[in-house]
Amino acid sequence: MRRVVFAILAAALLMWPASAGASPADGSLDRLVALVVERLDTADAVAAAKWAAAGERGIEPAIDDPVREAEVYDAMARLGNGRELPENWVRQVFVGQIEANKTVQRGLILRWRFDPAAAPTAPAALAFVRPVIDRVNVEILDQLAAHRAEMIAPDCTERLARSVFGVLVTGRLDALHQAALVRAAVALCPA
């Protein structure tokens, strides 16, 4: 099912006119999508910190951090429970967010391998980025709870696509971040 949704979003993106301007959406999911974009924006800093740390030790940057990821999933499931959100949905949402973030990290690190001069020279430490991610995670949960009826409705994907396309047509995101946004958004509607 998720592959089908991703394919639909990807096909719709390709057909969306570049001159379309703002989305005709009612805006109800725009804040949620903005938070997803904000979370994705942290991927650049995370990738840079991992790149620098690995370079100092002469090793390949490790993108996956199963311990940290499990901590996030468990913490969000607990917080989601307090908002009466189903645990499986909360975990699905945050798997999507983390995988999208790792998509950006992998893309950037690959770019830097081929063009080391483009790599950041003074990245922020992960300790400075994680509080931003933690805050945005909680805000994403708050938006899921606030818009639960829309999120569980049969037209969730269509509503979400309108808000996502509203971001995509701004030109603010490069192709890597656009693909990651679609990946993250696909996980928002309950499976």
Res. 190: pLDDT tops 70: yes
- Three-state helix/strand/coil letters over 54-118: HHHHCCCCCCCCHHHHHHHHHHHHHHHHHCCCCHHHHHHHHHHHHHHHHHHHHHHHHHHHHCHHH
Mean of pLDDT over the chain = 88
* Average pLDDT value for residue range 41-46: 96
In the chain, what are the domain boundaries?
32-61+87-191
pLDDT in tens, 64-120: 999 999 999 999 999 999 999 999 999 999 999 999 999 999 999 999 999 999 998
Residue 122: band (very low, low, confident or very high) from pLDDT cuts 50, 70, 90: confident
Distance CA 143, CA 98 (A): 17
What's the number of CA atoms in the CB half-sphere (13 Å) around residue 183? 19
**What confidence tens digit (pLDDT) does each residue in 132-181 have?**
999 999 999 999 999 999 999 999 999 999 999 999 999 999 999 999 99
Written out in words, the top-level CATH class of the domain with range 32-61+87-191 is mainly alpha
Q: In the chain, pLDDT over 70 holds for what percent of residues?
A: 86
Among 60, 36, 63, 35, which Cα is nearest to 47's?
Answer: 63
Give pTM, 2 decimals: 0.85
C-beta separation of 191 from 1 below 8 A: yes
Single-letter code of the amino acid located at 63: I
Is there a contact between 140 and 32 (Cβ–Cβ < 8 Å)? Answer: yes
What does the alpha-carbon distance between residue 123 and residue 86 come to, in Å, rounded to a whole number?
37
Whether the predicted pLDDT of 16 surpasses 50: no
Residue 17's pLDDT band, with cuts at 50, 70 and 90, is very low
pLDDT of residue 93: 98
Among 41, 42, 53, 40, residue whose Cα is nearest residue 96 = 40
